[in-house]
Amino acid sequence: MGKIYIEEKKLLFRRKDELTIIEPYGENCLRCRSTKNGKILDENWTVQDPVTKDSCVITGDEKKATITNGMMSATIEAGEIWYGGIITYYRNDQQILHTRFEGDYTNRNQHVEGDHYQISVVFDSNEGEHFYGMGQEQVDLFDRKGSTCQIIHFNTKSTLPVLYSSLGYGFFWNNPAPGRVETTRNHTMFVADSAYQADYFIYAGETPADVMKIYCDLTGYSPEFPRWAAGFWQCKLRYESQDELLNIAREYKKRGIPIDAIVIDYFHWTEQGEWKFDPKYWPDPKAMVDELKSMGIELIVSIWPTINPNSENYLEMSEGNMLIRTENGQYGTFDFYGQQTFIDVMNPETRKYVWQKVRENYYKYGIKTFWLDEAEPEVHPQQPSHLKYYLGNGSQVAQLYPYYYAKTFYDGLNAEGEQPVVLTRAAYPGSQKFGAIVWNGDIPSTFEALKESISSGLSMGMCGIPWWNSDIGGFLFGDIESDYFRELIVRWFQFGVFCPVMRLHGARKKQSDYVERHPGIIEPSGGDNEIWSFGEENYPILKELIELRERLKDYTCKYMDEASKTGAPIMRPMFWDYYNDEKCYTIEDQYFYGRDILFAPIYKQGCTEREVYLPEGEWINALSKEKVSGSQTIHAHAEINEFIAYIREGSEVLKCF
């Protein structure tokens, strides 16, 4: 039989083999921790100290007690031996979550090793509830209700165990262990494969914006977004040399096309694990940076966390335990131009060591923005329990890797007085505070992937990651001479205009396949990927879209500034501002860019028409300037050189179109 203890601002529930504590954590937020061990650990992982005051009130006795903190409350009922007990969570007076401590015959805590268990927390399902969040993966799914999700990172999948409920609350599973989430019709369940204790936050607000702000109070806010990053980014796999990259930048300027950033992708280095330019192909980095700056172009350089014994840094880093190790001692976790392993960014010594190399070989030339590829990291096979990190076994802490990868560069740049911005392929709760722009990985060049990218961007926004983008055109298998791709690239460019970051990238091919510009070079360039590469008919369309993006800079920066203060994403689901409109919770293929632009992308081959739902109010067609009343679904048309967007009546952003 369990027993409840009331301490100052804490409810404790003790029963056979289990200790549970519920306490306030800032305003309108409760934290629950539960363990089969004898004590609760004070481990916050990436969670910050409370930034607002709680209003905690506790009432009850050893059989039943309630803790109330603003809009959130939880009631614990101590049960008999055969059913253990119950915790019920409420938003105001509405029940939102209900979980039972079953008797001894359940397997919620299955022993793994030492004092770690596979932990499951199961809640009853609510009829009609919608869930949003859980990071990004290649699925055509924004509403997570009725689905399951594996908690793990790999290329194209970055899991953030955060949910927003249509009932007006948020849930953050504060366990960096791989696991899974089930938001099915019969229950909502979170599982950690190996953890000392269950740890989760439940928080509530009147609006989605209120709930997001509490989550960002817990995990942090994005820093100020630099104005240059709000423009167009040019990128490809890959520019092989300094001359090639500069010639592309010069051509953009010659043609009068606005361009704010250009990217040097991987294998510009001498060896994996040597963070420096190969002087054979990049002979004068400072002159390159200076010329780009004179053109108003920011240079971004790819960094990989891979390393192998051929690297000049390998022995020192290996002997210093600055690399990810394997529990069984064998070398190699990623076969890519030979067996590689990864640096262990969870180790503070690794972070300092790598930043000093980057500082010496890139930053001193004026390079201040970095592309953190392989941020998951991409181990093969994806078996976290095989890996040994500074903070523990991978089955317990693997999800933290992208967080500390971004922190490596944030801390280094911040110490130099810079405004950190990093482009990264994975994230974890809190990554946003390190200036992380996340993208959804090496996705294929298909219309299906375009549609899935809409869901990815919206989902990441609901996880507190407002800086997000995809490779415009997709990354893999794009044939730039095919009619299919030439249609796709236009529709994806239209989507890119209304993404937090507009970045063109991809491993392109032609009918003649890859072009080898420098014989014998490791990883030669793919096909051309500049906006004049996709046919004469497409060129003026794409140029006009980039010019529109340039005109939208003030608008974009306005909402990026809002994100840095409130956590509100600029890529917003329909229900963000229309949370009382039930229909807005069911629409997954249109969204708001900021408050005043409603964008409805076309994501099907050969399609020029689609339905668009306009919420209440008056709306202006961005292209035709036709006025339409809201609270209805309309039929919209857009030829290949057109897109579908509606502007809130009275908004000044209309003049940009």
Residue 514 has pLDDT above 70, yes or no: no
Mean pLDDT of the 40-48 span: 97
Residue 105 has pLDDT above 80, yes or no: no
- Confidence band, pLDDT 50/70/90 cuts, at residue 100: confident
Instruction: Please report the pLDDT score of residue 515 as a whole number.
Output: 57
CA dihedral for 269, 270, 274, 279, sign (positive or negative):
negative
The number of beta carbons lying within 10 Å of the beta carbon of residue 305 is 28
- Confidence band, pLDDT 50/70/90 cuts, at residue 324: very high
Instruction: Please report the pLDDT score of residue 330 as a whole number.
Output: 78
Residue listed under structure tokens 């090639």:
244
Residue 305 has pLDDT above 90, yes or no: yes
Instruction: Please report the pLDDT score of residue 107 as a whole number.
Output: 66
Structural tokens at position 51: 């930034």
Mean pLDDT of the 97-101 span: 89
Crossing angle, helix 553-566 and helix 208-219, to 10 degrees?
A: 70
pTM of structure: 0.97
Structural tokens at position 232: 């167009």
Rounded distance, CA 483 to CA 210, Å? 46
Instruction: Please report the pLDDT score of residue 417 as a whole number.
Output: 97
Could you tell me which residues come within 8 angstroms of residue 256 by beta carbon, excluding any fewer than 6 positions away?
none
Residue 76 has pLDDT above 80, yes or no: yes
- Confidence band, pLDDT 50/70/90 cuts, at residue 621: very high
Rounded distance, CA 452 to CA 322, Å? 37
Rounded distance, CA 334 to CA 307, Å? 10
Residue 79 has pLDDT above 90, yes or no: no
Instruction: Please report the pLDDT score of residue 406 as a whole number.
Output: 98
Mean pLDDT of the 302-306 span: 98
Residue 512 has pLDDT above 90, yes or no: no
Instruction: Please report the pLDDT score of residue 519 as a whole number.
Output: 74
Residue 82 has pLDDT above 80, yes or no: no
Residue 85 has pLDDT above 90, yes or no: no
In tens, the pLDDT along 432-445 reads 999 999 999 999 99
In tens, the pLDDT along 13-33 reads 998 888 999 999 999 999 999
Residue listed under structure tokens 């019920």:
88
- How large is the C-alpha radius of gyration of the chain? 25
In angstroms, how far apart are the furthest CA atoms of the chain? 79
Using the 8-state DSSP alphabet, how is residue 105 labeled?
A: T
Spatial contact of 411 and 353, defined as CB atoms under 8 Å apart: no
Instruction: Please report the pLDDT score of residue 513 as a whole number.
Output: 53
In tens, the pLDDT along 150-171 reads 999 999 999 999 999 999 999 9
Instruction: Please report the pLDDT score of residue 328 as a whole number.
Output: 85
Mean pLDDT of the 70-76 span: 98
Report percent pLDDT > 70 for the chain: 97
Instruction: Please report the pLDDT score of residue 286 as a whole number.
Output: 98
Question: Hey, which residues are catalytic here?
Answer: 373, 376, 442
Mean per-residue pLDDT over the chain, rounded = 96
Mean pLDDT of the 605-616 span: 98
- Confidence band, pLDDT 50/70/90 cuts, at residue 573: very high
Nearest to 96 by CA among 69, 72, 70, 121: 72
Crossing angle, helix 538-551 and helix 553-566, to 10 degrees?
A: 50
Could you tell me which residues come within 8 angstroms of residue 71 by beta carbon, excluding any fewer than 6 positions away?
28, 91, 92, 204, 205, 206
Q: Determine phi and psi for 446, rounding to 5 degrees.
A: -135, 160
Strands of the 502-504 sheet, one edge to the other: 468-469, 436-439, 422-424, 369-372, 298-303, 261-264, 232-234, 502-504
431 by DSSP, 3-state: which? helix
The number of beta carbons lying within 10 Å of the beta carbon of residue 656 is 18
Mean pLDDT of the 489-498 span: 99
Cα angle for residues 437, 505, 160 (degrees, 5° grid) = 35
